[in-house]
Structure 1
Amino acid sequence: MNQFISLFQASIVFGTVILFGAVGEILTEKSGNLNLGVPGIMYLGSIASLIGVFYYERYVENPIPIVCILIALVCAIIASMLGGLLFSFMTITLRCNQNVMGLAFNIFAGGFANFYGGSLNKLAGGVGQINVLATSAAFRTKIPSYQSLGPFGHLFLSYGFLVYLAIFLAFAISWFLTRTTVGLNLRSVGENPATADAAGINVTKYKYVSTCVGAAISGLGGLYYVMDYMKGTWDSDGSIEGLGWLAVALVIFASWKAPRAIWGSYLFGMLSWAYFYIPELTRSSQEIFKMLPYIVTVLVLIVVAYQHKPDNQPPNALGLPYFREDR
């Protein structure tokens, strides 16, 4: 029972990083913009939040937890939205190829984040010496008295507030896209921008706003990774990039429906950690089990491709630049 609870908790923590990235990308893709730069956006959110709180804790003797949280959130959201704005300018205004731009953005953002992460390590006295314990502890604060509820408390209440924020955002984005006029306009832009434009909808504005807001949500995944999972230090081994690509794949896995991404992200998280709970595995066997999330992703993509269900298909104009004079 204890092993199951431990695996479940690990899957929630790991899956939350993926969930933030997937929910943000679903919002972006519903506008017809394909942002493959989710890993880069998560890099920007993680390093910006770490830089902000590092200097705050470095020069303030008694850091205030709520201030730490606000600094981290503001820095992560601003940096991620600036990344989304850059991507929007290149792909919407200049109409660059969205696939190429996404890949190039990942290389740029990964290098940017690792450069400044290395600089912070030097300032802190060496690799692994970055100390933002107050901020990390604030983000990992659990619901009081969850232990008194037994297994239920350990399974569902033993997490920081960002876990519940990710779930809330998934349902909120779904409601926004299906129940509001602005959300329906956004979907029409992703399905047929020429028709939306003829109906008086500002296609460029909707694409810009959805891409930047989607980037802000994805950036929270990087923030959660560095503050909760890494406990306030910098990790340069590329794990964020791998999780970012899983988030992109999860969008297809969830058929562009944010609530489906919740259980899909936790499934990916569980598969990522399953090898820790299988006894007597050799190192080579562990490497095989580490492949499970990616194998499942490939299988899901194959199944989705063969189903051809209208509800499970991407927006018709996904990845296609819109030029008003072409309509």
Structure 2
Amino acid sequence: MSVVATQNTKVSAETETGGVKNWKNPVIYTVLALLSVFLIGIRAPEKTISLGISDGVRWFQAEPLQINPQVYGWVAVVIMLALAAYALVTTNTGKLLGRWVAPLFWLTFVTGLLVWAIGSTAKPSLSLVSLLTGAVALSIPMIFGSMGGLLCERSGIVNIAIEGQLLFGAFSAVLVGSLTGSPWAGLLAAMAGGVLVSSILALFSIKYLVDQVIVGVVVNVLVSGLTGFLFARVLQPNAPTLNSAPKLPGFEIPVLSQIPVIGPVLFDQNVLVYLMYFVVGLIWFALNKTKWGLRTRAVGEHPKAADTLGVNVNRLRLMNVLLAGAVAGMGGAFFTLVSVSAFNSDMTAGQGYIALAALIFGRWTPVGALSAALLFGFSLNLQFVLSILGTQVPTELLAMLPYLVTIFAVAGLVGRSRGPAAVGTPYVKE
């Protein structure tokens, strides 16, 4: 009895203190805080940053914020050192860190780096509204792509083919948009192109039970080669008629667009951004509040149990994979109907893979994937903004920025993020 009591007491103590001590985050915080002492503290630039906040709002005019990189840098360093010390002490006592620690640390670290990077440019002056507006726009392909991946993976199908869906959506949009002179026809064609790519994924992964990861990679290579060939042989020689699509229109929403800072960012955008709001909201509602969503989640977690209750597992998976292709295809339309009016080989530049990372980082939820895609879009836009401002950071490192953010974001979730239990596993009805 005494042995049992001792074991129960030990288990109870481990439960209260969080179990095994996890030193990963405290060590990361400590290393980054110490590096920040030398980078954004000691080596902080001397130029004052001018940050505009009233652009795009007619009734609200304010002087740009003046930020001293040296003062802000040392404030950020002190906060990070304090958080790192708190994390080390808390972990040493066996307690779990509060949920507020990680967001506060990373917010401080990222803003400190941002102030240092902007302060080191030739002209440290920019508009916060323009920076955020560009970030939202550049996030569109990754948001639609992650939503397409979400529809597949919550029903048990690994969607590595997001890159191919985006790329073929962009190709289809410019081709049909150029022939018809209508960006709306191009948008529908982009959706159809995404569905076509998804049908290949569905055919081999659901019907022929081929490894889903391998199928996705092969589809991406196939689409890349096919669109590259058609671009060189068909689009480029006939650019005026086949590779010059009109752009989707943009408009501002009255009243909402005049909210300071967030108004111009969220409500004075291209029509594809407003479609993104609708699609993300619809997927969230359908996934969490409808019978279809319940069945989709059940098929992704335990397909045999869902089959026992009368759900046609493979038919639901097929429907979701095709629907995912249509959603991802809309993201592909961004490249040729919003960003530019012409198609180029491999113009998606790996954003399909970043969309997949956003899905993982967002823990397979619509809001989480949306937030992660916005983060990656911000890093992508920051690369362009810093290049224009003339930063001292090497251009090669700037080009790596979105991918570095993706790697660090996903690596931080290793061991703590679990996808649907049945994802990647073909279902054969017995």
Q: TM bucket by the smaller chain?
A: 0.7 to 0.9
Verify: 1:293 aligned to 2:402, yes or no.
Answer: yes
Aligned to 2:356: 248
Highest Rg: 1 or 2? 2
Choose from 330, 338, 357 the match for 1:220.
330
Give the 3-state SS of the residue equivalent to 2:415 in structure 1: helix
Choose from 262, 278, 281 the match for 1:171.
281
Kindly provide the CA deviation profile for residues 116-161 of structure 1, in whole angstroms up to 9, marking residues without a partner as x: 23311211269xx9322xx31xx13222778983755432222111
CA distance in 1, matches of 2:296, 2:409: 27
Aligned to 1:131: 244
CA distance in 1, matches of 2:424, 2:349: 21
Aligned to 2:382: 274
Give the 3-state SS of the residue equivalent to 1:18 in structure 2: helix
CA distance in 2, matches of 1:125, 1:166: 30
Give the 3-state SS of the residue equivalent to 2:395 in structure 1: helix
8 Å CA contact retained: 2:199, 2:321: yes
Give the 3-state SS of the residue equivalent to 2:414 in structure 1: helix
Give the 3-state SS of the residue equivalent to 1:159 in structure 2: strand
Aligned to 1:315: 420
Aligned to 1:120: 235
Choose from 7, 32, 35 the match for 2:159.
35
Aligned to 1:4: 128
Verify: 1:84 aligned to 2:208, yes or no.
Answer: no
Choose from 249, 258, 270 the match for 1:140.
249
CA positional deviation for 1:71: 1.1
Kindly provide the CA deviation profile for residues 175-232 of structure 1, in whole angstroms up to 9, marking residues without a partner as x: 11111111101111111111111111101101100000011101111111211012x1
8 Å CA contact retained: 2:183, 2:337: no
Instruction: State the one-letter code of the partner of 2:208.
Output: L
8 Å CA contact retained: 1:48, 1:75: yes
Kindly provide the CA deviation profile for residues 253-282 of structure 1, in whole angstroms up to 9, marking residues without a partner as x: 110011122222121111112133334435
8 Å CA contact retained: 1:47, 1:116: no
Verify: 1:194 aligned to 2:318, yes or no.
Answer: no
CA distance in 2, matches of 1:247, 1:88: 19
Aligned to 1:55: 179
Choose from 98, 117, 126 the match for 2:212.
98
Instruction: State the one-letter code of the partner of 1:35.
Output: N
CA distance in 2, matches of 1:92, 1:103: 16
Distance 1:47 1:239, change over 3 A: closer
CA distance in 2, matches of 1:148, 1:12: 15
CA positional deviation for 1:235: 2.2
CA distance in 2, matches of 1:152, 1:257: 24
Q: Given the two structures, how large is their TM-score scaled by the length of structure 1? A: 0.86
Give the 3-state SS of the residue equivalent to 1:304 in structure 2: coil
Instruction: State the one-letter code of the partner of 1:130.
Output: N
CA distance in 2, matches of 1:152, 1:203: 42
Verify: 1:263 aligned to 2:371, yes or no.
Answer: yes
Structure 1 segments unaligned to the other structure (5+ residues): 58-67
CA distance in 2, matches of 1:241, 1:324: 39
Distance 1:148 1:13, change over 3 A: closer
CA RMSD, aligned part only?
A: 2.2
Aligned to 2:137: 13
Give the 3-state SS of the residue equivalent to 1:95 in structure 2: coil
Choose from 211, 222, 235 the match for 2:321.
211
More moved, 108-117 vs 6-15:
108-117
Distance 1:36 1:270, change over 3 A: same
Q: Given the two structures, how large is their TM-score scaled by the length of structure 2? A: 0.66
More moved, 219-228 vs 144-153:
144-153
CA distance in 1, matches of 2:244, 2:141: 21
8 Å CA contact retained: 2:170, 2:329: yes
Aligned to 1:65: none
Instruction: State the one-letter code of the partner of 1:207.
Output: R
Higher relative contact order (CA 8 A, sep 6+): 1
Distance 1:193 1:144, change over 3 A: closer
